[in-house]
Structure 1
């Protein structure tokens, strides 16, 4: 009898179509790899090795079952073999973000147990069928920064337990379907070509989730549905409107709408040859002079301000300004119905919102967190005013407490804010203007500055200053999961003697998580891209990028969401370390210091260790800063 059963089993197997014969998960991954046309970054995928140790493959602890497949920023392209992924039975998260895939959206809806799908920053295009997501168990969907067109799939509104949908910066048209499940906490369709009124049930996501859609209208967005003409505006005209307080605040909104239509990351890349800051506004404030500050670096800006510490303060105006500006919500502000500037650091003098608004202003740029303007006050003091959107994580009193804490910081490598203006819709943060510019601008820009000026001792000084500033922040903001959160070259300014000044730190508790994921660089660490979970390891990752950038002289592609331009300094340096050719990858302008090559290579390796994909393999901030402090030029 057993022989008969055995023969019947053989017969069934022989008649089964090849596609129905199961394969191992390792074989499924190899089939997926073979479907790609540019898979050099998956060289660790070798059949004779443990597939759970392959690049981008994450298994359950103690098991060989694949749970997550995260292949971001690997320059992958080609046709995606979804059928091979079906054989990975326990796959719950798939990320192919920041690659070069193109064409229609593959049938990922065949992966019935998939909970998270991340496809941002590719070149996928075409329409997505309206019923595409029916029958799936997806909870988190990121399709931003592609070229999808047609209607937003209505089946998104049918998904049970849906928590996040990101469709921003595509070419979707038509009306916004009702996607309002109670479980949904993140929704963004900004930067498309949508039209019509926003469903009332979706207004809870805020205006920012629907901005830069010329046809969207209704009371919620302040545009009559009878008039859906495309908003535009001349930047110069808008700046000219800044003559009165109310008009100025309106101009901030218009400028944001105009400038945000550009790709933020490409804006940052292009801004290298413009002004040195990304999200900074420079404003000239009328009012009292600043008090002199030691150029030894004990103050917020290390003495590198326009006007310089050599300017003498006017005692009378200083006293008058102090009486008016030190009060939160002065009478002058009350009369305007908007409140006043709250001064949190009076080392540069005291001024009010009216002083700021009377100053001559110019746009510096528009970044992920907001718009930046330069203002020069009548006393010659130059400041940067940053208008930050969606900084609504805290109430007014909590926000005041947090920003005042930062206003007390005093360290030669920390740029301490001077004042802030609170509005529910937006916040203005005023800081000192550093005329020499950002590290991004000086290292990669074109103002006739020779790279030879950034010799090895100077670059090591910059790295040591950054490390010193980070150590200080980690001591002062030890209760923060992410003390800095936005460390990158565009937020590091250099004084006249090349002392680095860190800016844009401490916003972690103030910025809403959704906006933080778009605007704060630490959220681009591999573990944050997929889960939005952040920790101090994200700051380590950011510090590693800056170190590699300074040593190689390359513009990191990591700064660009779309992945267009720059060099993947992480992979570039790793290949150098693997081939033991680190010295060949150093910037030629410093590699000529042959006596210091050993120290450069040691620092290059340290920077690389900070960018490990697995955050547990990265060193701690204490370890990194201590090692940097010990290095000699």
Structure 2
């Protein structure tokens, strides 16, 4: 009886347990094997061709993000792989997207300047990606309209300098957090999607096959963002869409005219053409001898920004090797000069057509030598355009074709240039030579491969950017201040000893020792162009009262200090005032509230032991940018305070402590993508860069530079050393 009762009580529970076990077997998800970051990266590497550059560090049985043994091309944070920086390694093959998907912390990928081809990889399911850089490859084909539908976190997309075609994916216009978009130098066609993305600060759609009206949501960007698309109208292009439609209609009607009419026109056109050719030949024979002496310079003058495709883009314009966009038209123009006069003796006479040497430390060369060198377009800025040339002695130089420098006669100009050429300071880049002509002048300087501070802070974030740790940033600030103080001592009687100090005019040597450039031009530039050409005229007293003084240079120094500390692109660089960050007001408000530390660039703020010195330097930058010049720091006081901070930091062995500080990826810490938005390209491909770097209104080529690139991007002032 008791046994039957016990059996009766236990049987339901036993059946329930069996049911639960069966249900768990049926519905429990199949366990999957998740590979480690090491395994995923090695799997990715196997998909590459030509990956020998990774062999020495991508070693099995080692951790990718451990101490000094961090694998090449990785960005790490707290032992987690957060970014891939595999640009310029000669890679090809197929990118194993499945392997990438196994790297759970991955937020940014960069494969710029490699040789990948085929359709765009299947990144569309990697919804956590915040930055994708594929510029400078051979990718081709169309991109599906819904490709970016699931990439809600995407903030930066650089597909420039590939062979993509078809319509721009409409899903791009739906990305609410998009900050940078670079599609230039492809074959995209059709109309531009209706973007309404307030966060978009950097845009370049130039040199495609786009047509139709520019959407209202993109009207804030300058014409350079859309250049090279003959079918586009509206916006700032100066092309009325209604008129363009009428012209197209008229053109279609003309095509329907009769064959007889066409034949008559062809006969008339041929006759006129022959006559013009004969007349031109006669004129050429008459003036040939007279123009022989000026032939070289005139040909150089004819290389206009449009003809030379001067947009320098942030992503590739100035990477570690100072890669720049080479304009075939410029090369042809310059190579054609090799047929002219033989090599000059290069001696410093002031004759027309000669190159006057100011500094022979890099050798002696003449104008014909310069003209025979291969030319690489670097950029265009407020003062003119620039390109790189390699002399026969192997020295690389930057040639700047200056405009609006007509205030001095030949002798006065020569005296000013010789004064600049005599300067010698560790942190000052003096000119090597110049060429005088009434309307245009050439100024030749040494080429600095690492590029500008502007590019390294805001452009393609490769190895050089990763080395912008706290000690190196202090070293840069210290060098800029010392160089500026030297100019103030040498030109004590000048109202503007420098006049154009900004991050695009700070070049960095291999050890991050800064060189300030483009100084001392205030007396050479036409007064009507000063406010447009020189950054010192952006200081409050110049804007309000048209007054400048050495304190204006101090204001510029303060802007650069705040830019270095916050990592933000200053809106003060922009001619149209749109885009970037008002670092002066932003920092002043934070300091008054006692929260200045919160504004520091996350890539250096992780060095907790140095927060005190960072805050001190932030106060120096703020004191240099006081709106009242009387309350602004004196140059000597600014240098003294900076030196005190530098001594503390650089004597602490901070390099060792901060070696990985730059690897802090903001997107992991606070959700903000792969660092802050930056102006896009020297030409206003981005509301900020083009303007900021100093080209025209809204002109900045980060680009650069800045294909950045980009890129990328005219203004790279010294992104790609454009002038501004």
Match status 1:328 vs 2:342: no
Contact 1:552 1:585 in 2 (8 A): yes
Shift in alpha-carbon separation, 1:546–1:587, aligned structure 2, 3 A:
same
Q: Residue in 1 aligned with 2:459?
A: 445
CA distance in 2, matches of 1:556, 1:421: 34
Shift in alpha-carbon separation, 1:281–1:387, aligned structure 2, 3 A:
farther
Match status 1:471 vs 2:485: yes
Shift in alpha-carbon separation, 1:369–1:357, aligned structure 2, 3 A:
same
Contact 1:280 1:386 in 2 (8 A): no
Match status 1:533 vs 2:547: yes
Q: Which has the higher contact order (CA 8 A, sep 6+)?
A: 2
**Deviation of 1:611 (Å):** 1.2
Shift in alpha-carbon separation, 1:329–1:519, aligned structure 2, 3 A:
same
Match of 2:625 among 611, 614, 617: 611
**Deviation of 1:278 (Å):** 14
Contact 1:279 1:372 in 2 (8 A): no
**Deviation of 1:581 (Å):** 1.0
Q: Give CA deviations for 1:50-104 in whole Å, capped at 9, x if unaligned.
A: xxxxxxxxxxxxxxxxxxxxxxxxxxxxxxxxxxxxxxxxxxxxxxxxxxxxxxx
**Deviation of 1:435 (Å):** 0.5
**Deviation of 1:245 (Å):** 7.8
CA distance in 2, matches of 1:245, 1:625: 49
**Deviation of 1:538 (Å):** 1.1
Q: Residue in 1 aligned with 2:356?
A: 342
Q: Residue in 2 aligned with 1:576?
A: 590
Contact 1:387 1:429 in 2 (8 A): yes
Q: Residue in 2 aligned with 1:304?
A: none
Match of 2:437 among 423, 432, 436: 423
Match status 1:377 vs 2:391: yes
CA distance in 1, matches of 2:444, 2:325: 9
Contact 1:406 1:417 in 2 (8 A): yes
Match of 2:365 among 346, 351, 356: 351
Q: Residue in 2 aligned with 1:17?
A: none
**Deviation of 1:580 (Å):** 0.8
**Deviation of 1:488 (Å):** 0.5
Matched residue of 1:371: which SS? strand
Matched residue of 1:354: which SS? helix
How many residue pairs were aligned?
Answer: 356
Of the structure 1 ranges 543-552 and 581-590, higher mean CA displacement relative to structure 2 is found in 581-590
**Deviation of 1:280 (Å):** 13
**Deviation of 1:594 (Å):** 1.2
State the TM-score, normalizing by the size of structure 2.
0.45
Matched residue of 1:328: which SS? coil
Q: Residue in 1 aligned with 2:317?
A: 274
Q: Residue in 1 aligned with 2:509?
A: 495
Shift in alpha-carbon separation, 1:272–1:404, aligned structure 2, 3 A:
farther
Match of 1:623 among 625, 637, 640: 637
**Deviation of 1:533 (Å):** 2.0
Q: Residue in 2 aligned with 1:407?
A: 421
**Deviation of 1:616 (Å):** 1.6
Superposition CA RMSD, Å? 3.7
**Deviation of 1:508 (Å):** 1.3
Matched residue of 1:434: which SS? coil
Shift in alpha-carbon separation, 1:278–1:558, aligned structure 2, 3 A:
farther
Q: Give CA deviations for 1:4-35 in whole Å, capped at 9, x if unaligned.
A: xxxxxxxxxxxxxxxxxxxxxxxxxxxxxxxx
Shift in alpha-carbon separation, 1:567–1:260, aligned structure 2, 3 A:
farther
**Deviation of 1:449 (Å):** 2.7
**Deviation of 1:246 (Å):** 4.8
State the TM-score, normalizing by the size of structure 1.
0.52
**What residue ranges of structure 2 are gaps of 5+ in the alignment?**
1-215, 217-221, 224-235, 241-291, 332-341, 650-724
Shift in alpha-carbon separation, 1:531–1:280, aligned structure 2, 3 A:
farther
Match status 1:507 vs 2:521: yes
**What residue ranges of structure 1 are gaps of 5+ in the alignment?**
1-122, 124-144, 147-168, 174-243, 285-319, 331-337
**Deviation of 1:257 (Å):** 5.3
Q: Residue in 2 aligned with 1:255?
A: 303
Contact 1:279 1:367 in 2 (8 A): no
Match of 2:447 among 430, 433, 450: 433
Shift in alpha-carbon separation, 1:329–1:281, aligned structure 2, 3 A:
farther
Q: Give CA deviations for 1:279-298 in whole Å, capped at 9, x if unaligned.
A: 999999xxxxxxxxxxxxxx
Contact 1:544 1:607 in 2 (8 A): yes
Q: Give CA deviations for 1:202-226 in whole Å, capped at 9, x if unaligned.
A: xxxxxxxxxxxxxxxxxxxxxxxxx
Q: Residue in 2 aligned with 1:155?
A: none
Shift in alpha-carbon separation, 1:261–1:349, aligned structure 2, 3 A:
closer
**Deviation of 1:448 (Å):** 1.9
Contact 1:280 1:385 in 2 (8 A): no
**Deviation of 1:329 (Å):** 4.0
Contact 1:421 1:428 in 2 (8 A): yes
Q: Give CA deviations for 1:162-218 in whole Å, capped at 9, x if unaligned.
A: xxxxxxx99699xxxxxxxxxxxxxxxxxxxxxxxxxxxxxxxxxxxxxxxxxxxxx
Matched residue of 1:577: which SS? helix
Match status 1:598 vs 2:615: no
Q: Give CA deviations for 1:452-481 in whole Å, capped at 9, x if unaligned.
A: 411111000000000110111011111211
Contact 1:281 1:372 in 2 (8 A): no
Q: Residue in 2 aligned with 1:335?
A: none
**Deviation of 1:362 (Å):** 1.3
Structure 1 runs (4+) greater than 4 angstroms displaced: 169-173, 244-248, 259-262, 270-273, 276-284
CA distance in 2, matches of 1:474, 1:278: 33
**Deviation of 1:547 (Å):** 0.1
